Structure 1
Amino acid sequence: MGRLVPAVTRALDILELFLEGDGTLSAPDVTRKLQLPRTTVHELLTTLAARGYLAAIPEQAGRFRLGVRTYQLGSRYAEKLDLAAEGQQVAREVAETCDETVHVAILEDTDVIYIAKVDSTHAVRMVSAAGRRLPAHCTSVGKMLLASLPETELETRLAGRDFVPMTPNSITDPDDLRIALADIRESGIAAEHRESNPDVSCVAAPVRDRTGRVVAALSISVPMIRWNEERETELAELALKGAGELSTRLGHRGSA
């Protein structure tokens, strides 16, 4: 772990003080509670207020409360919690239907992070965990999410990236990836065949929020001993249905 930045630590200490009491504080209150120099406290309060993390209380001169920026951050965090909770429930329903491992994942830069997972009951199944991070180009959920990005944003994310393989079947050429993503946009479904795990294939479908934006992907992973073209088609339809259900729970009302 890198070195902690003292100024950032002090700013966060100040914000956390507002979790106590009535949620209002003055500069002298902060100085007393944190034992910091008055000048330092004044500068930090001024900076936090200028950035919207604190707001002056007009009717109480010299006192502050939490600002709108903290509400925005909290709301974004709550959105992710809702997605994870709803994703886990839908993943469970999909897994009960097909008895295979189901994941829900989000995109972060050029990686995917699994936020929900339900295991198959079969003895032979995929070993993974919620919270795991994998390169997007090696997974069906990742390719689905990359394919859903606007072209300019996709190119920005891919620029200068090394496409490190996870298996011999992983895509390592940027042009091959672009072709695969174009096919996904056309079909509306993503698949990967032994690209992240030499013994597993997957299919994935997009999850949309109330605005229609793709915010996650739902996948079904199957060991190769239970995989064939017919099974792939069947599971692709189920992934689309599950992703559609999760989208509905997130407020999406239009067609995918």
Structure 2
Amino acid sequence: MTAHVPIRSSEATFGGRQPHAVQKALGMLEAVAQLGPGTTAKEIATFAGVPPATAYRMLNLLVADGYLVRVPDLSGFALGRRTAELAQAAAESTPSESLHDVMEDLRGCTRFGLHVASFAGSRLRFVDQDPDHEIVAITTLSKSLHANAIGKLMLAHVPGVGPDAEFRRLTEFTMCERESLARELRDIISSGYAKECQETRLGRAALAVPIRDSSSFVVGGLYLHGSAAKVQPDPDLVRFLVDGSARLTGLL
């Protein structure tokens, strides 16, 4: 890393010990960041609330130390290399959101249960479950992919995964015809979401949308469930799920 020579107070008419000198310098950097490349000394002084004479001295020092540069025609200033280095270091030190962080945020925006399932290894497995909305008969979902939204989503998107040879009828609403299921899987691909209504459990309805990795492959699903009377595939609820799954891209 390049060593930077510290600024000595004797090299300028202001220094770190002067009242508000640092705040004024930062205000001038902010002025260039806000107003853009080519910002004039007068504009910087006005934005930062610095007297013109002081502004000129500070600008010369900021340019000399690499925090600002003069634009090619010398009419104004732009952010310099050292400011860019600081911005990059700040970005790299900011922790990225985790899957659980995103899920906790999403759960605060809905009254329904919200879960994340993984399709890794062509196996349906829930990796982040809503602590306030337990999925009743959760093991049934992986054993009867044809009868629930997250299972249908997996059947539609994961190559080589197929329904059981014998379709089990779990309720009177369970779909047990292969041709009907094939049509629904095609609809899932085109619409972007899967749905169920009392097919696995009476009184329960659910929606599911795909979660993708950084290469856009479907690696899991975001699963929302609740009362059959309240969970419907209306545009707002579907959009909430689609936007939520977009935030989970690359986190599963």
TM superposition score normalised by structure 1:
0.53
TM-score (normalizing by structure 2): 0.54
Q: Write 1 or 2 for the structure with the bigger share of helix.
A: 1
Task: State how far apart, in whole Å, the 2-side matches of 1:109 and 1:164 are.
Answer: 23
For residue 138 of structure 1, what is the aligned residue in structure 2? 147
Give the C-alpha shift of residue 133 in structure 1. Answer: 3.9
**Distance (whole Å) between structure 2 residues aligned to residue 241 and residue 212 of structure 1:** 15
Secondary structure of 1:241 counterpart = helix
Structure 1 residue aligned with 2:223: 219
Per the TM alignment, residue 132 of structure 1 is displaced from its structure 2 partner at its CA by 7.4
Question: Cα–Cα, structure 1 residues 163 and 221, in superposed 2: closer, same or farther, change >3 Å?
Answer: same
Aligned length: 156
Whether contact under 8 Å (1:112, 1:133) holds in the other structure is yes
What displacement does 1:109 show? 7.8
Instruction: Give the superposition deviation at 1:178.
Output: 0.7
Give the 5 Å matches for 1:238-249: 238-249=240-251
How much does 1:224 deviate? Answer: 2.4
Gaps of 5+ in 1: 1-84, 251-256
Residues 144 and 205, structure 1, Cα contact 8 Å, conserved in 2: yes
Provide, for residues 110-166 of structure 1, a one-character-per-residue CA deviation record: whole Å limited to 9, x for no partner.
863222111457xxx75466997442211111111211134xx24xx34x6111122
Higher strand share: 1
Q: Is the 8 A contact 1:114 1:133 kept in 2?
A: no
Alpha carbons 2:120, 2:220 under 8 Å: kept: no
* CA RMSD, 1 decimal: 3.0
Partner secondary structure for residue 116 of structure 2? strand
User: What is the rounded CA distance, in whole Å, between the counterparts of 2:177 and 2:197 in structure 1?
Assistant: 16
Contact 2:141 2:200 in 1 (8 A): no
User: Deviation digits for residues 81-130 of structure 1, max 9, x if unmatched?
Assistant: xxxx9443333222110121001112378863222111457xxx754669
Identity %, equivalent residues:
21
| Structure 2 unaligned spans of 5+ | 1-96
CA contact (8 A) 2:120 2:219 kept: no
Q: Note closer, same or farther for the CA distance 1:168–1:112 as it changes in structure 2 (3 Å cut).
A: farther
Q: Which residue of 2 aligns with 1:97?
A: 109
Residues 1-256 of structure 1: pairs in structure 2 closer than 5 A? 86-107=98-119, 112-120=124-132, 127=136, 133-150=142-159, 153-154=160-161, 157-158=162-163, 161-228=165-232, 232-249=234-251
Name the aligned partner's letter for residue 213 of structure 1. F
